[in-house]
Structure 1
Amino acid sequence: MWRDAVLVAVGGAIGTAVRAGLTLGLGDDLGSALVPIINVVGAFAIGILFGWRARMPESLRAQRVQLFIGTGVLGGFTTYSALAVESADLALLWWGVATVIVGTAAAWGGVLLGRGGRAR
């Protein structure tokens, strides 16, 4: 159990650092569009991971890969809490709603891609 928690924590630190780097590097150019872009890309990547896992036999190693990459790295990379704050600051509820809808569609597409184009 502790090993799993460490995997998630380390992965989360990596994902958060990548997001922070993108924010520092691209924040001025993309402005408030950066957070939704990060969230949609992250949702797509999580979808790919879960689709891929659906094709794999159950194993402790596969479960730990999912914890490290999915819950840790991609969980730290995406930031729906920042989206909520930006939506409130911009007084634009549609911004947050649209990002969740597009992110859900991206995750669905990622799952299909991860499954090799086959729906379940």
Structure 2
Amino acid sequence: MSRTAFSWPHLGLIAAGGAVGTALRAGIIALGDPSWAWLSIPLINIVGAFGLGIVTGLAVRMGDVPRSRALRQFFGAGVMGGFTTYSTFAVQSVDAFSLLLALATVVAGTLAAWGGLVLGRRSRS
């Protein structure tokens, strides 16, 4: 994929997508059962990895065209970037149990991203 110069429309797509992703994450956490809060961030990150895999696969399949760039910017960098939250994930990973949960999340996230990438590449655009 080619490198594109900075433009305000690109930044606008990323910012708008980030707002959507952040609001979606906050809504899911707010609606969840507080006794399961420790699991919400890892699950959100795994779902986000899957979503980013799909976006990347679709973009690769479409080629380096303006529509593909807009898809990567809005959904990839924006929505999935705002939806996932690896800073909170890192802070949660400070004790032994959380370290095991972190490892499981990284493995599951990697598998989810791979699955999304395969699915995105195979879908019709």
TM-score (normalizing by structure 2): 0.86
Structure 2 spans left out of the alignment, 5+ residues:
1-6
Give 1:2 deviation, angstroms.
1.2
After TM superposition, the structure 1 = structure 2 runs for residues 6-85 of structure 1, keeping only pairs within 5 Å, are 6-85=12-91
- Say whether the 8 Å CA contact 2:21–2:79 is kept in structure 1: yes
Q: What root-mean-square deviation, in Å, do the aligned CA atoms of Structure 1 and Structure 2 show?
A: 1.7
- Say whether the 8 Å CA contact 1:27–1:34 is kept in structure 2: no
- Pick closer, same or farther for the CA change 1:18–1:51 going to 2, 3 Å: same
| Amino acid across the alignment from 1:80 | Y
| Amino acid across the alignment from 1:51 | G
Of 78, 98, 110 in structure 1, the residue corresponding to residue 116 of structure 2 is 110
Q: Percent sequence identity over matched residues?
A: 46
Distance (Å, rounded) in 2 between the aligned partners of 1:85 and 1:47: 25
Structure 1 spans left out of the alignment, 5+ residues:
none
Question: How many corresponding residue pairs?
Answer: 117
Distance (Å, rounded) in 1 between the aligned partners of 2:95 and 2:12: 34
Q: Spell out, residue by residue over 1:66-105, the C-alpha distance to the aligned partner (whole angstroms, 9 max, x if none).
A: 1001100111001111111112267632221221111011
- Say whether the 8 Å CA contact 1:47–1:107 is kept in structure 2: yes
TM-score (normalizing by structure 1): 0.89
Give 1:20 deviation, angstroms.
0.4
